[in-house]
């Protein structure tokens, strides 16, 4: 258990990471961080395949030592078919409340060769911050291409990584 001593008082901090990948598919909406982004393809998945929100959920669950979203929201469960991943994030926040953990900050990176995500980042940050119940200053979002290398570079899909710090 991570613990820091500050002024004689123990602060219980936990860090967690999340990684997610989804393939592009025709005829799907592209939803990243709860934002619908105009593009020729969307991401394939059982839920809305929101790669960023999934990585954030896994970072939060990981920090709390609760497991991963595949465990809580299995793709064999019809309730999560085309599910709005912000709803899954709301559920994750309820679980964190259950173990009395609060978000200190989240830092996430989206990996995509296309489309350009910068115009949508402020909106994504707003939606995630609102769902998590923190100020936008506690959410950091970044985007990168992979310089045309690998599955992201070949525009076969998108990936996201997130780190979350929690305090009890
Ligand atoms: Zn996912």
For residue 112, with 0-12 CB atoms within 10 Å meaning exposed, 13-18 middle and 19 or more buried, which class applies? buried
Residue for token pair 């105009």: 38
Alpha carbon of 33 to ligand 1 centroid (Å): 11
Alpha carbon of 22 to ligand 1 centroid (Å): 6
Alpha carbon of 160 to ligand 1 centroid (Å): 9
Alpha carbon of 137 to ligand 1 centroid (Å): 25
**Per residue of the chain (168 residues), what is the pLDDT tens digit?**
555 666 777 789 999 999 999 999 999 999 999 999 999 999 999 999 999 999 999 999 999 999 999 899 988 888 888 899 999 999 999 999 999 999 999 999 999 999 999 999 999 999 999 999 999 999 999 999 999 999 999 999 999 999 999 999
Alpha carbon of 49 to ligand 1 centroid (Å): 5
Q: Return d(Cα 34, Cα 30) in angstroms, integer.
A: 10
Q: Hey, is 24 helix, strand or coil?
A: strand
Helix axes 121-132 and 85-98, enclosed angle (nearest 10) = 40
């Amino acid at each position: 258990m991570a613990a820091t001593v500050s002024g004689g008082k123990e602060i219980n901090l936990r860090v967690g990471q999340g990684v997610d990948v989804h393939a592009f598919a025709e005829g799907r909406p592209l939803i990243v961080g709860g934002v619908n982004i105009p593009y020729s393809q969307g991401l394939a998945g059982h839920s809305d395949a929101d790669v960023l929100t999934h990585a954030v959920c896994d970072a939060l669950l990981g920090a709390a030592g609760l497991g991963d979203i595949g465990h809580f929201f299995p793709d064999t469960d019809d309730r999560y078919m085309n599910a709005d991943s912000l709803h899954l994030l709301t559920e994750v926040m309820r679980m964190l409340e259950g173990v009395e953990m609060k978000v200190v900050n989240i830092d996430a990176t989206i990996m995509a060769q296309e489309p350009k995500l910068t115009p949508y980042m402020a909106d994504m940050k707003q939606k995630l911050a609102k769902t998590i119940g923190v100020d936008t200053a506690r959410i950091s979002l970044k985007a990168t291409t992979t310089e045309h290398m690998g599955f992201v570079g070949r525009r076969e899909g998108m990936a996201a990584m997130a780190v979350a710090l929690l305090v009890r």
